[in-house]
Amino acid sequence: MRDRRHSLLNAAITATATAAAALTLVPTANAAPGGAAEAPESAPVASAHEAVPAPGGGEQIDVIRQGAPAWNAWRGRHPGVRPDLSGADLRDLDLVAVDLRGADLREAGLLSADLAGADLTGASLPDATLAGADLTHAVLTGADLRGARLTEAELSGARLAQADLAGADLTRAQAGSADLTGADLTGANLSGANLNRADLTGAELKGALLTDTDLNCRGHHVCEVP
């Protein structure tokens, strides 16, 4: 019995040694020239802070058509991107308090859009259509509105300081209490516009049409109120 146990133990030891030797002879997929195994390459992992490419102009238009909350969230994710909405058809959209600072809106169609309280500081809007748009208390400081169509637009309380409105059509626009200090209104059409209590200090009105305009404004020699 003892001899049988001894034989079984020797056989087990021999089998174990043989298996170990076999393992040492199996080459690894990433073996180095000297025989030492290299650690397997790990798959690249995307960083949580990796920049996501900003959508192009067409995609930006799709986002803004979802409304101000979706657009403002998009701007928060792309703070360094200047929005390109040039030529976009954005008529009748509800864009209350939308963030369009510095946006390119050349020749954009904003007919009857609700832009009350919107921030358009430094926006580019030459030849844009804003007829009938609601811009109550909107911020358009330094905006480029050359040749823009603002017929019957609501601009009450809007901030248009240093805005370029040369050649703009403001026929029957409601701009009561608007801030137009330093604005360029050269050649603008203000026929029938309401400028009641608007501040035109330092504004340029050379060649502007003022037929039937409510000039109960202040800060300019054309104003009926000094």
- Tens of pLDDT, residues 14-57: 444 444 444 344 344 444 444 444 544 444 433 333 333 445 56
State how far the Cα of 153 lies from the Cα of 196, in Å rounded to an integer. 15
* Whole-structure pTM value: 0.75
Segment 123-138 mean pLDDT? 98
Planar angle of CA 154, 81, 110, nearest 5 degrees = 25
Show Cβ contacts of residue 119 under 8 Å, excluding neighbours closer than 6 positions.
97, 98, 99, 100, 101, 138, 139
For residue 140, what pLDDT is reported? 98
pLDDT of 73 over the 80 cut: yes
**């009105």: which residue's tokens?**
205
**First-residue to last-residue Cα distance in the chain:** 126
For residue 17, what pLDDT is reported? 44
Segment 213-226 mean pLDDT? 91
Query: Is 108:125 a contact under the CB 8 Å cutoff?
Result: yes
Look at residue 171 and give its three-state secondary structure.
coil
Burial class (CB in 10 A: 0-12, 13-18, 19+), 78: middle
CATH architecture under which domain 57-226 falls: 3 Solenoid (2.160)
* H or E element in which residue 64 lies: helix 57-64
Query: Is 197:178 a contact under the CB 8 Å cutoff?
Result: no
Burial class (CB in 10 A: 0-12, 13-18, 19+), 24: exposed
Per-residue tokens: 118: 């919107």
For residue 57, what pLDDT is reported? 66
Look at residue 24 and give its three-state secondary structure.
helix
Look at residue 169 and give its three-state secondary structure.
strand
Segment 78-83 mean pLDDT? 95
For residue 56, what pLDDT is reported? 53
Confidence of residue 224 (pLDDT cuts 50, 70, 90): confident
**């308090």: which residue's tokens?**
97
Query: Is 140:119 a contact under the CB 8 Å cutoff?
Result: no
Mean pLDDT rounded to a whole number for the chain: 84
Name which of 13, 20, 155, 43 is nearest 145 in CA terms: 155
